[in-house]
A and B are shown apart, each in its own frame.
Chain A
Amino acid sequence: MSLIDRFTNSWAKFRKPGYYEEFDYAWTMSVDLDRCSGCGACVTACQAENNLPTVGEDEMARGREMTWIRIERYWEGEFPNIKLRFIPMMCQHCDTAPCETVCPVSATYHNQDGLNTQVYNRCIGTRSCAVYCPYEVRYFNYYDHHWDSPLEQQLNPDVTVREKGVMEKCTFCIQRIRQAKDHAKDDGRRRILDGEVQPACAQTCPTEALVFGNRNDPGSEIAKSLENPRAYHVLKELNTDSSVTYLKKVDADAS
């Protein structure tokens, strides 16, 4: 191997977030846009599960809402031939994530499960990850958020309540994955079974548009979903190598 090859190889490895050759699990989600009705149940479920604050009307108007998953709405065509399309957008857990390379303190990194994790305690709030993220799915805590009594009683004890000055984003409900791993260990299994763990959004979706699983497991539902000819990645041209696959909407009267 020539010196240049060695250099480029080690650089490529260095560039790869987390430095992993392969992932233990590779958590993946697929979003079937043909099934998505844009109801927003996933948004609410996520808010309840992950202790997302309700920022209030004023902050909402200033564009500071906290929604780890959001329903993007796109209008197509001119009236009267107009169509409304939805794309649920959450952290894509990119395998070559721009946010991970830019964080000066490594508060966001790639873990062994192929998840893009955010360490709240390490975050110093430079907000550069949010600028570098092309999907705009990172949310910043502009204030310390409060829950009026008795609402603080319904906070999820498995999830940190973030303080001001910290970045946060979708974790694929990492607390549930941890729990499932513990259960698997207690049962004497090494692996989590397919369908054993689901993030709040996928669990809630009434049309089952969201499918979650380990793509390293060839028999899993997600692996089948990835083989669907409608599968695509949002902004694939940016080479972020994202872990969320979208299934294109089937348009009956597409030209």
Chain B
Amino acid sequence: MQADTRELQFADVNDDVVRSIVQTGTKYYVTLAIAFGVTLACFMFPWFYQLYYGIGAAGNNHPAVWGTYLASFIFWIGLSHSGTLLSCVLHITNSAWRKAIYRSAEAMTLFSLMVAATMVMVHVGRPWFIHWAIPYPNQMEMWPNFRSPLMFDVMAITTYLTGSSIFIYMGSIPDFAAVRDRTTGWRHHMYVLFSLGWRGTDTQWHRLGWAYTFLAVLIIPLAVSVHSIVSWDFAMSIVPSLHQTIFAPYFVVGAIYSGTAGIVTVMFMLRKYMGFEQYIKPMHFDNLGKLLLVLSLIWTYINIVEVFTGWFSGASGEIEALKYRLFGFYAVLYWEMILFCAVAPLLMISKRFRTSLVPMLFLSIAINIGMYTERFLIVATSQPRQYLPDAWGLYIPSIVEISIIVGSLAMFVTLFLIFVKIYPSVSIYEVKETMDMPKRKGAPHGQ
């Protein structure tokens, strides 16, 4: 790491980023081993157990056939939302502060989507037939059901995954080239492939800029549609407390909210453990803090509207579901969610709080715990209180489910740890755009 007193030079950026890839300490390997071990022990093993014995390994029962797997699925889709979406919005609004953080944010999108897709596999009863939900020509001459919100979901998520993969890849071609020129051995060969013959000519830069902006504009509506569609899995049903028009914006805002909090967490980790102090500054936390504050206010507003319209309808089913959510078995979790996602974020009104990194880290984690709780409550408090009181019940997650939640988090961390060693996790060329031009020896700036 360069001494903080010296001003950052163009060459330092390359050095720092390449160093983050090629220099690997024991600490990294230990962390990777732990993360991978937890993935195996807490995710793979219980999942295989469940595949062998059936979904009965989870805590689902007759009224509550959906459980934490689906809650995790929404959570990971939600977490995926800020990366690419935020990056696109900030790109087309020319916000310079985006440049140091967007690569890791987009990686977060990618890996969250992968984990979310895995959660679908864990959720369904017969995952070995999951490809039937994809429209492909087959000898059965069967299409998927195009009326189904779940079908829309498959479409939306695969599109989003494709779009954000292309987006992150396209944005990093010049960086691959920069890393290619500074590495040797197998890494060099790998980056030769990744950089697609990038030489940095004017034509190449022009085309990259055009394509990048084009994709950014394309992905914004796509991201909004993805979480709207995820919300329709619930809102298109006639289950009391789920059948609400507010659900699509509610999910979109919730997704961006938890995603932004996730970026704050990841940023803190990168800054602390990958040595990016000079790139990720308190200014970034300040800006993201402001965004988080606004999102928390919108989220709170939508929650109030959701409860109010449910109560105002006066329908017995709605009232029962509302009562169960606010004062029933899971009331503690509900009020915990309100505390973490609506009350605690108000601290970010103070600039001193926004620029204090450790409190921001804790707050961002608290927000994501609250957001997971929200998704859990959507699943766990709606189904046990439906129209026929005889079919009321109680859903408590089993140990297998809880283990898989932990394991999915470890899987995300594993993927991310592998990413930072292969990918330039800070955008080299975009960071340079925010810096002063290199000075000739002794000459004033720009000569």
Contacts and interface: CB of A to CB of B under 8 A. Distances in A.
Interface in B152-195: 153-154
B125 A122 contact: no
Contacts of A64: 56, 61-62
Among A14, A65, A164, A238, the most chain B Cβ lie within 10 Å of the Cβ of A164
Contact of A140 (B65, B147, B149, B233): B65
Given A72-B390, A123-B125, A126-B124, A142 B237 contact: no
B238 A127 contact: no
B356 interface: no
Contact of B65 (A103, A130, A143): A130
A132 B239 contact: yes
A73 B392 CA distance: 12
A102 interface: yes
A102 B149 contact: yes
B147 A65 contact: no
A185 interface: no
Contact of B55 (A102, A103, A138, A164): A164
- Give the size range of B's interface with the partner: 35 or more
Nearest to B57: A142
Looking at B63, B151, B391, the one whose CB has the most chain A CB atoms below 10 A away is B391
B236 interface: yes
Interface string A122-165: 11111110111011101111111000000000000000000111
B137 interface: no
A82 B154 CA distance: 51
Contact of A165 (B124, B386, B391): B124
Contacts, number: 144
B62 to A, nearest CB: 5
A125 B127 CA distance: 8
Contact of B54 (A70, A126, A142): A142
B297 interface: no
Contact of A106 (B65, B145, B233): B145
A144 B54 contact: yes
Contact of B150 (A70, A89, A102): A102
A62 interface: yes
B55 A135 contact: no
Contacts of B151: 104
Nearest to B148: A104
Given A123-B125, A127-B65, A235-B387, A143 B53 contact: yes
A116 to B, nearest CB: 14
Interface of A is mostly: loop
A101 B130 contact: no
Contact of A131 (B123, B127, B383, B393): B383
B144 interface: yes
A125 B132 contact: no
Contact of B133 (A98, A105, A127): A105
Contacts of A122: 132, 142
Given A64-B62, A164-B55, A15 B237 contact: no
Contacts of B126: 123-125, 163-166
Which of A14, A128, A135, A234 is packed against the most chain B CB atoms within 10 Å?
A: A128
Interface string B102-138: 0000000000000000000001111101101100000
Interface residues of A, number: 48
B124 A101 contact: no
B389 interface: yes
A80 B126 CA distance: 50
B119 to A, nearest CB: 12
A7 to B, nearest CB: 16
A74 interface: yes
B63 A14 contact: no
B14 interface: no
B388 interface: yes
Contacts of A143: 53-54, 56
Question: Interface centre among A102, A131, A238, by most B CB within 10 Å?
Answer: A131
B66 interface: yes
B32 to A, nearest CB: 34
B427 interface: no
B237 A62 contact: no
B388 A135 contact: yes
A77 interface: no
A238 B133 CA distance: 28
A18 B353 CA distance: 59
Contact of B60 (A15, A126, A140): A140
Contacts of A135: 387-388
A229 interface: no
Contacts of A15: 147
B233 A104 contact: no
26 contacts: A14-B147, A62-B61, A70-B390, A72-B388, A74-B390, A89-B390, A98-B238, A104-B145, A104-B154, A106-B143, A122-B142, A124-B124, A124-B130, A126-B123, A128-B150, A131-B237, A136-B62, A136-B386, A138-B65, A140-B125, A141-B125, A142-B55, A144-B54, A164-B125, A165-B55, A165-B126
Given A124-B133, A132-B237, 4 more contacts: A63-B62, A98-B237, A103-B150, A136-B386
